[in-house]
Structure 1
Amino acid sequence: MIDYIRSVLDVVAESPFVPLEAHAKKGVLAVEKLAEAMEAYCAGNQSILEERTDEIDKLEHEADKLKQKIRASIPSLIRLPVNKKDLLSFLKQQDSIADYAQAAAYWMTLRPCKDIPEEIKEGFLELMGTSLKTARLYDELAGALYKLLATSFSKEEIRETMAIIPEVERLEHDVDVLETSLLKKIFENEDTIGGAGVCHLIGLVERVGGIADKSASAADRLRTMILRR
């Protein structure tokens, strides 16, 4: 039995799954930094916003290097417990989490947060908070994948992992609802914000909300990868 467990772990160690888990953590760290950047943006603290943007940029770059390492390792692997195409599709969606965090941070630096009503600032903070919850729950799901491999996809572990996915999707739906509400508030305040301000804030809504969307898409790809292994 001990030899069997070692054999399974050897396959995991030689596979892309260790860097894959690390890659997921880079994404959620980037989103956590983005939440701090959003607070700075709403408070008008440009220096903190720029600091967090630089930190997110570094995390996204580190995630890209891990992505390249994973992609390079897949073609040479003979033993892999999941379909290679499914794994690459999963990786692409997971990688987009850090990409959207980076894009949202950069977007905030393009235009200062002035003449924006408090209700809109509060809406952005709520949207950011729920997007962060979605990314953190997705990170928990990505961590469960390693446990699945270590137990050779036991039925109990599969069931526990699959139970997380609908929760990620539920949070993504909550983000969709918050996006719609926030967009309505933005348009209602067009006279105060101005046309350019409205366009800027719409872009920010899309980028922050995209984090939850990509988290849910990656969770869906993970489900497909497990079911078709």
Structure 2
Amino acid sequence: MKDYIRSVLDVVSESPFVPLEKHAKKGVLAVEKLAEAMEAYCAGNQAVLEERTDEIDKLEHDADKLKQKIRAGIPSSVRLQVNKKDLLSFLKQQDSIADFAQAAAYWMTLRPCKTLPEEIKEGFLELMATSLKTTRKYDELAGELYKLLATSFSKEEIQETMSIIPEVEKLEHDVDVLETALLKMIFENEDIIGGAGVCHLIGLVERVGGVADKSASAADRLRTMILRR
């Protein structure tokens, strides 16, 4: 069914919807690579960390190219099935997922993980895993766009799509809780980590958590785009 939907959409001249799912996939792939980078960071494997950072950089660049393609595919004289401004606002938030993955990976390369207590490493791995879970759930949501377009936003498909959004938001809330607990742990170990180390880890928490935050923001903008179409 999905292949049929894609074939129908592909014949629409300069449709901005055709590359939207591909763009979302670039974001989730970047976050998956970030999870591997986090494992390498916590293991002190700088070589693998830098390899994953390079891969994330390429995915973010690919996402940027798709973003430009989508923007260029928005016709000025043809009425879309959704509000154009809402579509661009949604795209901006979706694009930020790969941006934050890239920023988090770069941030890890700036300072090696040498003196971190095991509990903080475990905290980062848990935060990363939940952020990735949030992004994957968002990717599932973005994939529903094809069904919405193919059914001209039928009531049933809208309800099915909308039911996924609270799941994304719940996972993002779980990330917020983990962020708070991890930050507290970092400050409690300031004597071991050092002032510079604390500042670095705070920045890393914000960037990894930002992946989930942008996933939830994109989900919220998608909801707005659907409701105001």
The bucket for the TM-score relative to the shorter chain is over 0.9
Aligned to 1:213: 213
Aligned to 1:50: 50
**Displacement after TM superposition at 1:206 (Å):** 0.1
Q: Secondary structure at the match of 2:114?
A: coil
Aligned to 1:178: 178
CA contact (8 A) 2:9 2:15 kept: no
Aligned to 2:65: 65
Change (3 A) 1:70 1:141: same
> For 1:23 and 1:10, how far apart are their aligned partners in 2?
15
Given residue 91 of structure 1, which amino acid in structure 2 is its aligned partner? L
Aligned to 1:227: 227
Change (3 A) 1:70 1:10: closer
- The 5-angstrom pairing of residues 8-27 of structure 1 reads 9=9, 14-27=14-27
The answer to which structure has the higher helix fraction is 1
Q: Deviations over 1:126-185 (max 9, x none)?
A: 000000000000000000011110111111110000000000000000000000000000
Identity %: 90
Given residue 181 of structure 2, which amino acid in structure 1 is its aligned partner? S
Unpaired stretches in structure 2, ≥5 consecutive residues: none
**Displacement after TM superposition at 1:79 (Å):** 3.4
**Displacement after TM superposition at 1:18 (Å):** 1.3
**Displacement after TM superposition at 1:12 (Å):** 5.4
**Length-normalised TM-score, structure 1:** 0.95
**Length-normalised TM-score, structure 2:** 0.95
> For 1:211 and 1:115, how far apart are their aligned partners in 2?
25
> For 1:180 and 1:42, how far apart are their aligned partners in 2?
19
**Displacement after TM superposition at 1:214 (Å):** 0.3
CA contact (8 A) 1:11 1:79 kept: no
CA contact (8 A) 1:40 1:49 kept: yes
CA contact (8 A) 2:14 2:73 kept: no
Unpaired stretches in structure 1, ≥5 consecutive residues: none
> For 1:78 and 1:11, how far apart are their aligned partners in 2?
15
Change (3 A) 1:77 1:178: farther
Q: Secondary structure at the match of 1:17?
A: coil
Aligned to 1:76: 76
Aligned to 1:30: 30
Given residue 203 of structure 2, which amino acid in structure 1 is its aligned partner? G
2:204 matches 1:189: no
Q: Deviations over 1:168-226 (max 9, x none)?
A: 00000000000000000000000000000000000000000000000000000000000
Aligned to 2:136: 136
**Displacement after TM superposition at 1:74 (Å):** 1.2
> For 2:162 and 2:62, how far apart are their aligned partners in 1?
28
> For 1:109 and 1:57, how far apart are their aligned partners in 2?
13
Q: Secondary structure at the match of 1:42?
A: helix
> For 2:208 and 2:97, how far apart are their aligned partners in 1?
10
Q: Deviations over 1:48-78 (max 9, x none)?
A: 0000000000000000000011111214350
CA contact (8 A) 1:12 1:150 kept: no
Q: Secondary structure at the match of 1:225?
A: helix
Given residue 61 of structure 1, which amino acid in structure 2 is its aligned partner? H
> For 2:197 and 2:25, how far apart are their aligned partners in 1?
33
> For 1:157 and 1:55, how far apart are their aligned partners in 2?
35
Which runs of structure 1 show a deviation greater than 3 angstroms over 4 or more consecutive aligned residues? 8-14
CA contact (8 A) 2:14 2:75 kept: no
